[in-house]
Amino acid sequence: MSKKEVIIFSDYCDEAYPFEEAKECCKERHLEEYPEDKDWEPSDDEVWNEIYSVTQISWEDIQYDLKEFFNDGSVYILTGTAGLWDGRKKGGAIIRSYKDLSRAWAGMDNVKFTDERGVFNIYGYHHDGTNHWQVRKLTERGLKYLKRHPEWDEDPEELHTKLWGKGYSVNLNYVKKVWG
């Protein structure tokens, strides 16, 4: 991970909330209630329940933030690759809402969102492989181009490449805009 990459959310095992950190949290909580029980150790199940609980709360929070961000009336371009049973496939989509965006991680076993130098990344792991998508916001120039060349009217890969280009879209800078 580069120093400029910020994990917005991850439910990948041991990444966002490491096992040892969760274990220490369980111990601290137990000692608050039972200060005399200094040698108590949580079971692995208790630690995994802690991780699951914190991850669920975090997921609800990030969904709220993502909905606020992507339901602002802007139009976005998503491009990347999907790991499929028959190899890696390129793809992309025009995103107009959180609902559109959420299709990028539908069916994933695990998901991670990062902001790397302003580029919004979505990683998803599933039984066939790993997907990696990037999202940018269309500029006025990009919106005009899209209006003249709708997705169904042109080769989608060519359209997505054009809209990803300089002047047609910009980085989201999600972390800066949402978290300050």
Give Cβ neighbours of residue 88 (< 8 Å, ≥ 6 apart): 81, 82, 129
59 & 40 share domain: yes
Q: How many domains, in total, are found in the chain? A: 2
Same domain, 105 and 134: yes
Question: Does residue 2 lie within any of the structural domains?
Answer: no
The structure's pTM equals 0.85
Helices 19-33 & 44-70 angle (0-180, nearest 10): 110
Residues 63-109: pLDDT tens digits? 999 999 999 999 999 999 988 888 888 889 999 999 999 999 998 99
Do residues 105 and 171 share a domain?
yes
Residue 78 belongs to a domain? yes
From 68, 87, 112, give the residue that closes a domain.
68
Instruction: Tell me which long-range contacts 18-25 makes (C-beta under 8 A, separation of at least 24).
Output: 19/47, 19/51, 22/47, 22/50, 22/51, 22/54, 23/47, 23/50, 25/50
Contact 175, 115 (CB under 8 A): yes
CA distance 111 to 133: 11
Choose the final residue of a domain: 68, 98, 117. Answer: 68
Question: Which residues, listed in sequence order, are joined to residue 116 by a DSSP beta bridge?
Answer: 5, 119
pLDDT for 16: 77
**Percent share of the chain, pLDDT over 90:** 71
Domain residues for the domain of 64 are 8-68
Same domain, yes or no, for 89 and 168? yes
Domain termination residue (choose one: 29, 48, 68): 68
Query: How far, rounded to the nearest angstrom, does the alpha carbon of residue 162 sit from its chain's CA centroid?
Result: 24
Angstrom distances, CA of residue 76 to CA of 51, 92, 103: 33, 11, 14
pLDDT in tens, 11-52: 987 777 899 999 999 999 999 999 999 899 999 999 999 999
State how far the Cα of 89 lies from the Cα of 91, in Å rounded to an integer.
Answer: 6
pLDDT at 2 over 70: no
Task: Name the band, by pLDDT with cuts 50, 70 and 90, for residue 178.
Answer: very high
